Amino acid sequence: MYDIAVIGAGIIGTSVARELSRYSLRIALIEKDNDVANGTTKANSGIIHAGYDAKPGSNKAKYNALGNPMFDELCEELAVPFKRIGSLVIALESYDMEKVEELYNRGLANGIPEMRILGRSEVRKMEPNLNDEVVGALHAPTAGIIDPWELAIALAENATENGVELLLNHRVTAIEKLTDGFDIRTSASGIEARYVINCAGVYADEINNMAAAPYFQITPRRGQYFVLDKNTGSLVNSVVFQCPGKMGKGVLLTSSVHGNLLIGPDSEVLDDKDNVETAAHRLLLIKEAAARTATGIPFNTMIKTFAGLRASPSTRDFIIEESKETAGFINVAGIESPGLTAAPAIAEEVVRLLKATAGKLKKSDDFNPLRRKVIRFMELKDHERVELVRKNPVYGRVICRCENVTEGEIVDVINRKAGATTVNGIKRRVRPGMGRCQGGFCAPKVMEILARELGRDMQEIVNEGKESYILSGTTKGEQDYEGK
Amino acid sequence: MKENSIVNRYDVVVIGGGPAGLAAAIEAKKHGAKSVCVIERDKELGGILQQCIHNGFGLHIFKEDLTGPEYAERFIIELMESGITCKLDTMVLDISEDLDLQILNTYDGFMHIKAEAIVLAMGCRERTREAVNIPGTRPAGVFTAGTAQRFLNMEGYLVGKKIMMLGTGDIGLIMARRLTLEGAEVRAVLARRGYPGGLMRNVAQCLHDYDIPLMLRHTIVKIIGKERIEGVLVARTDEERKPIPGSEELYECDTLLLSLGLIPENELSKGAGVKLDPATGGPVVNESMETSVKGIFACGNVVHVHDLVDYVTDESRRAGKSAAYFVRKKLKENGLLIKTEPGKGIKYIVPHLIRVDNLNKSLQLFMRVREVYPNSRLIVKADNEVIKKSRKMHMTPGEMDNIRIDPKILQQRKPAILSVQVKREEE
Ligand SMILES: Cc1cc2nc3c(=O)[nH]c(=O)nc-3n(C[C@H](O)[C@H](O)[C@H](O)COP(=O)(O)OP(=O)(O)OC[C@H]3O[C@@H](n4cnc5c(N)ncnc54)[C@H](O)[C@@H]3O)c2cc1C
Ligand SMILES: Cc1cc2nc3c(=O)[nH]c(=O)nc-3n(C[C@H](O)[C@H](O)[C@H](O)COP(=O)(O)OP(=O)(O)OC[C@H]3O[C@@H](n4cnc5c(N)ncnc54)[C@H](O)[C@@H]3O)c2cc1C
């Protein structure tokens, strides 16, 4: 029997699991997919919001304000790149300035520090590539950017290093309340746990309904993006939002932590909880909207489009509470934006809720908050490179020629805890295939390394999900042509 | 800053061990470069030829019909016998304007190499840009033709059974045939334009002979399928190559191959400040295949994408010889300088600049036309005077054209600009 079962290994589930791993508890982190961060956590803007958007008094406002300042230490401990580049909400018409002021006042009510309203010339000085029409802006220097899946992967790794058991390929299908705890049925095996924490993203309503009566609904709300080639991110120096309007929060322009320009999202309510297709007419609208922020966006260097699903709750606010009906069952649901930002603060809240229902928790003596950094060969100095290859020659072979990723880096992320088992899993951890050629050249080599390190056949290696096979058989080779 | 890494020196360093690099290195050695080093990131020499197991190589140079690996073998043997250093499984990470190279492999580790001259011969990579723009899902089962070729020809794996192909580059055409022979069904090959991008020879031998439908003026507007691709939405295209709304039709498939053409691989060149021609995607070069950076030469697909390896060999021999001459200070830097200029109907001309004093035999200009021209002439002008006309039965962007010019004419007329244009016969 586990003490705790955390359902869902997105940014919320991994944050909760890692926070709980500070205590002497037996914890299962249960995920339906074959890797962590495969849901909404891999497809969002990656912004650590300053916190002026949400309505004062809401959970969103509270946990955004609490979460944001936690990122410096968290990212330091987990060796994840994080940059506080600040954000601007720009006014394109003079009447937009009212909205800017409203956001400023909201920010004050939410306790957001260091905000300022800027005039045209100051904005132009900070962001020379924006269109001339910009009238002014709200500046919030505490906003930042992060690679969201990198953080979730790091949290999962650190949690498992501290004893959490990560159960991939376990889709929860039913939950039964026992006298003491829960019986959780999954697509793989049955799991018993005293407490359940529901962090299932867009499926959190369905998980709740397995254990308690329905009392909220999650609607998927899709947002689409463009990603441009690396080095395009320097078009802007901060995260640049348009004033919220008809298109939702407003299309934004930002650099990713790796220097790619990210443009999006829009907002569209769907009924399919797995539909992350991109659509031409939507992308066109985003392109047009973005042109109002800056005309010089080099769309010809685009390397990818993608879409993510916001888990919009019928209650319109984050649901972070123990089920009133089913004791020991905690919902962390409806975590739409700013869920990434709020994640570390939400994780602390979950621990408080758990203590409230379970009583005192015993701290673990050997919790280690630090994660070993993933070495990136190209970021090293000359003498470090020489040293590294001398010690470990696999760092001497370049696999991805767009991003110059070495075999050593790939082997490292396969062999870590919560390591990669798929081509996309490798891509998200060390970026081969994230460049111009999108994996055209390196995919076969990445597959070979995966097969070798995992002791599997090449044909078993999948791209992402279980059914996403890459090879369909072997060639006739020397066989007789008539033979088959 | 460099004290920790071994510094090595060579007269000529050639980056890339494909046919271009091989010919350049051999020729540099022959013409007096004392130390020559070829650096190749693959485990073997030969470049793209190693995965081209079909024939059609060497018809001009050897007057024989060889496979890719057979063609490469002839040069590899010669290279091995001529005392040239070869670093295989070695990546050049960076080159600087003062000809310092950063290289990486598992046996020397990371190190700097100093060269007196560098020959860029990195070849090209497959274009994916158009495919990246297709909306829909991002499932498994979408391959560039070259990746599929690698899987089939070098590793012995199949990539799928029911195949759609976007684009008509040569690798794609060859793969359509190869996959059919392996028992797969190639449902259709789509070209956005009204003509195929690859060689007519390949269209005939790889598609027509196997009854594979070639759908001109069609493109893919959506990719369907959650984990593995399940189908594509195909639409007709208009005169501007844009999809026509309402013309969409669903084609089920388990594989999408992309053959959208090739683009010179010039990340390294950019790092060294080499000036590139937007029309070719490769360096601006002169008659000796020298780039805008002194001492850096370039040849083969890194300069412009070739359809025939024989031309690569010719061009690369010139680059290798010139690099040796440069090291020996025998390359003439001054004298009459002529610019070439693509005129009406011509997309690009290589070389871009001509220093007449370095020409000895005839000057060969390589070019591609912008669209299909049946029964036309190539007209060469020295400034405004026509100096040559050449009749061509059929010109298409898929096939490189060339024309020879007698250097004497240039020496006599001393033009500033040498231009080439296309004229239809009836005009
Ligand atoms: C377009 C867009 C932009 C956004 N931008 C930002 C931003 O800039 N800043 C910010 O702070 N926030 C942003 N967000 C919000 C943020 O992305 C989310 O709040 C966050 O990723 C939610 O994480 P999660 O762990 O709750 O969900 P998910 O990442 O979806 O994780 C849920 C996990 O549960 C698993 N699961 C589901 N059902 C089951 C089952 N039955 N059994 C087992 N496992 C199951 C899923 O496979 C999944 O891995 C954005 C969201 C979107 C969509
Ligand atoms: C599918 C296909 C079919 C063809 N069919 C024919 C045919 O039938 N007949 C014919 O005559 N011609 C044919 N050609 C044309 C001809 O073979 C090619 O144009 C020619 O091989 C190009 O030679 P290259 O040396 O420039 O490039 P490549 O052969 O691509 O060689 C470049 C080499 O440089 C290496 N390299 C690149 N970057 C680095 C780096 N940073 N560090 C170290 N090494 C590096 C690469 O690994 C590669 O080996 C065909 C071409 C293709 C693609």
Residue-wise pLDDT tens digits, B263-273: 999 989 999 99
Kindly state whether residues A294 and A416 are assigned to the same domain.
no
Among A309, A335, A350, which residue terminates a domain?
A309
DSSP structure string for A238-275: SEEEEPPBTTBS--EEEE-TTSEEEEE---EE-S-TT-
- Rounded to a whole number, what is the distance in Å from the CA of B93 to chain A's nearest CA? 8
C-beta of residue B285 within 8 angstroms of C-beta of residue B255: no
Asked whether residue A426 is assigned to any structural domain, the reply reads yes
Instruction: Report the chain A residue with the minimal C-alpha distance to residue B127.
Output: A437
CA B263-B266-B269 angle, 5° bins? 160
| Residue A136 structural domain | 84-143+221-309
Query: What number is the ipTM of this complex?
Result: 0.90
Domain shared by A298 and A404, yes or no: no
CB nearest to A383's CB, from B4, B139, B228: B4
Q: How far is the CA of B132 from the centre of ligand 2 (A)?
A: 24
Quick one: which ligand is closest to A249's CA? 1
CATH number reported for the structural domain that contains residue B404 in this entry: 2.60.40
Q: Residue A153: which of A81, A69, A66 has the closest Cα?
A: A81
| Number of C-beta neighbours around residue B82 at 10 A | 14
Q: In the prediction, which pLDDT does A478 show?
A: 38
Nearest to A475 among B144, B156, B254 (CB): B156
The whole-number average pLDDT for the span B66-76 is: 95
| Pocket probe mutation, ligand 1, options A16, A40, A275, max atoms within 8 Å of Cβ | A40
Looking at chain B, the whole-number percentage of residues with pLDDT higher than 70 is 98
A153 lines ligand 1 (CB under 6 A): no
Is the domain of B249 the same as that of B132?
yes
Q: A245 in contact with B at a CB cutoff of 8 Å?
A: no
Q: With bands split at pLDDT 50, 70 and 90, how would you rate the model's confidence at B129?
A: confident
**Are β-strands B401-405 and B363-369 bridged in parallel, bridged antiparallel, or unpaired?**
antiparallel
Cβ-based neighbour number of residue B403 at 10 Å: 19
Minimum-distance ligand to the CA of A313?
Answer: 1
**B146 neighbourhood in chain A, CB within 8 Å:** 440-441
CB contact under 8 A, A471 and B141: no
CA A201 to ligand 1 center in whole angstroms: 5
Q: Which residue stretches of B50-144 are H helix?
A: 68-81, 129-132
Is residue B75 within 8 Å of residue B27, measured between CB atoms?
Answer: no
CA distances (Å), origin A93, targets A9, A99, A237, A244: 42, 10, 22, 12
Rg (CA), chain B: 23
In a shared domain, residues A299 and A403: no
Q: Which tokens sit at A43?
A: 């497809």
pTM of the model: 0.92
> Residue A291's domain is classified under what CATH number?
3.30.9.10
Chain A residues touching B147 at Cβ < 8 A = 440-441, 443-444
Question: Is the Cβ pair A277, B132 closer than 8 Å?
Answer: no
A420 and A279 in one domain? no
Are the beta carbons of B155 and A458 separated by less than 8 Å?
A: yes
Are residues B252 and B135 located together in one domain of the fold?
yes
Clarify whether residues A296 and A393 are in a common domain. no
Whether B200 and B151 share a structural domain: yes
Same domain, B17 and B61: yes
Residue B236 and residue B318 in one domain: no
Q: Out of A387, A441, A464, name the one closest to residue B227 (CB).
A: A464
Query: Do A411 and A288 have their domain in common?
Result: no
Residues B255/B141, Cβ–Cβ less than 8 Å: yes
Instruction: Give the closest of A385, A406, A473 to B158, CB-based.
Output: A473
Cis bond upstream, residue B19 (ω within 30): no
Diameter of chain B by CA atoms?
A: 68
Q: What is the pLDDT along chain A (484 residues), one digit of tens a residue?
A: 999 999 999 999 999 999 999 999 999 999 999 999 999 999 999 999 999 999 999 999 999 999 999 999 999 999 999 999 999 999 999 999 999 999 999 999 999 999 999 999 999 999 999 999 999 999 999 999 999 999 999 999 999 999 999 999 999 999 999 999 999 999 999 999 999 999 999 999 999 999 999 999 999 999 999 999 888 999 999 999 999 875 556 799 999 999 999 999 999 999 999 999 999 999 999 999 999 999 899 998 888 899 999 999 999 999 999 999 999 999 999 999 999 999 999 999 999 999 999 999 999 999 999 999 999 999 999 999 999 999 999 999 999 887 889 999 999 999 999 999 999 999 999 987 666 666 667 889 999 999 999 999 999 999 999 999 999 999 987 344 433 3
Per the CB < 8 A criterion, the answer to whether B301 and B124 are in contact is: yes
Instruction: Report the distance separating Cα A340 and Cα A40, nearest Å.
Output: 10
DSSP 3-state of B53: coil
Ligand 2 shell residues, CB under 6 Å: B 15-21, 39-42, 47-49, 52, 56-57, 91-92, 121-123, 170-171, 174, 265, 268, 300-302, 306-310, 312
Residues B132 and B100 in one domain: no
Task: Judge if B254 and B277 occupy the same domain.
Answer: no
Q: Which two tokens stand for residue B17?
A: 């061990």
Q: B260, B288, B318 — which closes off a domain?
A: B260
Q: The domain containing residue B379 runs over which residues? A: 335-427
Quote the number of domains for chain B: 3
| B277 and B352 part of one domain | no
- Among the candidates B298, B331, B364, a domain finishes at B331
Pairs across A and B, CB distance < 8 A: 148
Identify from A397, A404, A450, A461 which residue to disrupt to test chain B contact, counting B C-beta atoms within 10 A and taking the largest count: A397
How far is it, in rounded angstroms, from Cα A435 to Cα A398? 14
Same domain, yes or no: B139 and B219: yes
Q: B128: which strand partners?
A: none
Closest partner residue to A389 among B110, B136, B159, by Cβ?
Answer: B110
Q: What is the pLDDT of residue A160?
A: 98
Q: Kindly state the average pLDDT of the residues B271-283.
A: 96
What local confidence, expressed as pLDDT, does residue A246 receive?
59
Find chain A residues with C-beta within 8 A of B183's C-beta: 476, 484
Task: Give the mean pLDDT of chain B.
Answer: 94
Number of the ligand closest to the Cα of A220: 1
Phi and psi at residue A189, in whole multiples of 5°? -155, 170
| pLDDT score for A440 | 67
Token pair recorded at residue B314: 């010719």
The token pair at A478 is 């020397």
Residue A452 contacts B, CB cutoff 8 Å: no
Residue B412: pLDDT over 50: yes
Q: Residue B172: which CATH number?
A: 3.50.50.60
Distance CA B251, CA A448 (A): 31
How would you write A324-346 as a 3-class SS string?
CCCCCEEEEECCCCCHHHHHHHH
Q: What is the DSSP annotation of B196-256? A: -SS-HHHIIIIIGGGT--EEETEEEEEEE-SSB--EEEEEEB-TTSPBPTT--EEEE-SEE
Ligand 1 center to residue B231 CA distance, Å?
28
Contact criterion met (CB below 8 Å) for B339 and B417 = yes
Same domain, B6 and B118: yes
Q: Are residues B309 and B383 in the same domain?
A: no
Q: How many CA atoms lie within 13 A of B293 on its CB side?
A: 24
Q: What's residue A442's pLDDT?
A: 85
CB A252 within 8 A of CB A45: yes
Q: Is the pLDDT reported for residue B323 higher than 50?
A: yes
Q: Chain A: nearest CA to B426, how far in angstroms? A: 38
Q: Where are the alpha helices (DSSP H) in A117-147?
A: 120-126
**Is A442 in the same domain as A294?**
no
A274 to chain B: closest CA residue: B226
- Å from A452 to nearest chain B CA? 15
Three-state SS at A17: helix
**Does ligand 1 have an atom closer than 6 angstroms to the CB of A30?**
yes
Which chain A residue has the Cα nearest residue B89? Answer: A397
Question: Which residue matches tokens 């042509």?
Answer: A481
Peptide bond into B397 cis (omega under 30): no
The set of residues, in sequence order, having a beta carbon less than 8 Å from that of A240 and lying 6+ positions away, is A87, A88, A90, A127, A130, A252, A253, A254, A293, A294
In-domain check, residue A122: yes
Number of domains in chain A: 2
Q: In angstroms, what is the span from residue B219 Cα to ligand 1's centroid?
A: 34
What DSSP assignment string belongs to B325-370?
Answer: HHHTT-S--SS-EEEEEE-TTEEEEE-SEEEGGG--S-EEEEEEES
Whether residues A239 and A96 share a domain: the answer is yes
Domain assignment of residue A259, yes or no? yes
Which residues of A belong to the active site? Answer: 49
Q: Is A391 at the interface with chain B, CB within 8 A?
A: no
Contact B125 A441 (CB under 8 A): yes
| CA-nearest residue, atom 33 of ligand 1 | A8
Q: Is A343 in the pocket of ligand 1 (CB under 6 A)?
A: no
Q: What is the CATH number of the domain that holds A423?
A: 1.10.10.1100
Atom of ligand 2 nearest to the CA of B146: 1
Q: Which atom of ligand 2 is nearest to the CA of B299?
A: 26
For B163, nearest residue in chain A (alpha carbons): A472
B373 & B384 share domain? yes
For residue A199, the ligand 1 atom closest to its alpha carbon is 26
